[in-house]
């Protein structure tokens, strides 16, 4: 039943090094659940019972968390092959620390965390690869959260925007790239107001540092952007 999502599942870091045929055997052991959601429908709610590691199979989801003041902070926008809830899979708390909302019509697979690290009945090599991949993912996510913390220490709005754009530039390998977040989502991610974000981006555009149209960004003055981070 998972063959129609084979291309998207192959993009998932959790299944790195595992063939489609082997993956079907792994799913026989894990017995994942697949659910579909409509736009703005809650996929998970912070504080509710943890239902398993989530993998987006189609569409997009927005991963959010509320701060002490009740304001929403966007942690990520995930598309096909991307995961959420991996840091909570083995925490022992048994509850979701995050809320996840469907950005549009989407399909999500939930993998029971306990079965990921349990010995496979068939003792197959692909299940051992799955465990290795999971350890790498948890380690990588810890580094991502550390990077998110660094954003909170950047005092100036321009510094936050510049840091984000430079990270996207390095990720894309080009000065001309698309960002996955809408303007209000980017504001939540940077923990700033949308009007302030728009004003500052317009100033940077007027100064010739960058150009933007919708989600399309083009960095015009890379060195100037780097200086703004400092």
Which residues does the chain have with pLDDT short of 50? none
Count: domains in the chain: 2
Does residue 149 sit within a domain? Answer: no
The pLDDT of residue 23 is 83
Residues with Cβ within 8 Å of residue 36, at least 6 apart in sequence: 105, 106, 107, 108
Determine the 3-state secondary structure of 156 from DSSP: coil
Rg (CA), the chain: 19
Q: How far apart, in whole angstroms, are the C-alpha atoms of residue 6 and residue 19?
A: 10
Sign of CA dihedral 130, 132, 133, 134: positive
* Nearest-10 crossing angle of helices 20-30, 125-153: 80
DSSP 187-229: HHHHTS-HHHHHHHHHHHHHTTSEEEETTEEEES-HHHHHHHH
Task: Using DSSP bridges, classify how beta strands 176-178 and 106-111 pair: parallel, antiparallel or unpaired.
Answer: unpaired
pLDDT at 102: 96
Residue 148 lies in a domain: no
The H-or-E segment that residue 78 falls in is strand 72-78
Are 135 and 164 found together in one domain? Answer: no
Query: Phi first, then psi: what are they for 211, rounded to 5°?
Result: -125, 150
The DSSP code sequence of 35-66 is EEE-TT-EEE-TTSBP--EEEEEES-EEEEEE
**pLDDT recorded at residue 221:** 93
CATH code: domain of residue 19 = 2.60.120.10
CATH no. for residue 212?
A: 1.10.10.10
User: Percent of the chain at pLDDT above 70?
Assistant: 93
Put residue 214 in one of left, alpha, beta given phi > 0 → left and psi -120 to 50 → alpha. Answer: left
Both 136 and 158 in one domain: the answer is no
Residues 171 and 133 in one domain: no
Domain limit, last residue, from 124, 143, 162: 143
Range of the domain at 167: 154-229
Give residue 206's pLDDT: 95
């Amino acid at each position: 039943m998972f063959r129609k999502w084979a291309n998207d599942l192959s993009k998932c870091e959790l299944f790195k090094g595992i063939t489609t045929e082997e993956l079907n055997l792994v799913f026989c052991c894990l017995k994942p659940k697949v659910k579909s959601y409509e736009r703005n429908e809650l996929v998970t709610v912070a504080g509710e019972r943890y239902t398993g590691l989530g993998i987006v199979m189609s569409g997009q989801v927005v991963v959010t968390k509320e701060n002490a003041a009740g304001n929403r902070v966007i942690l990520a926008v995930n598309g096909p092959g991307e995961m959420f809830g991996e840091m909570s899979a083995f925490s022992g708390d048994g509850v979701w620390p995050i809320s996840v909302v469907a950005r549009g019509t989407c399909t999500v697979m939930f993998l029971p965390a306990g079965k990921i690290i349990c010995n496979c009945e068939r003792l197959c090599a692909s299940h051992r690869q799955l465990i290795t991949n999971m350890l790498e993912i948890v380690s990588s996510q810890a580094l991502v959260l550390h990077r998110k913390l660094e954003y909170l220490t950047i005092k100036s709005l321009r510094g936050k925007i510049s840091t984000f754009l430079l990270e996207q530039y390095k990720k894309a390998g080009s000065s001309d790239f698309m960002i996955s977040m809408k303007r209000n989502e980017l504001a939540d991610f940077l923990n700033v107001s949308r009007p302030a974000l728009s004003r500052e981006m317009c100033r940077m555009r007027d100064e010739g540092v960058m150009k933007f149209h919708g989600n399309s960004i083009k960095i015009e003055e890379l060195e100037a952007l780097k200086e703004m981070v400092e």
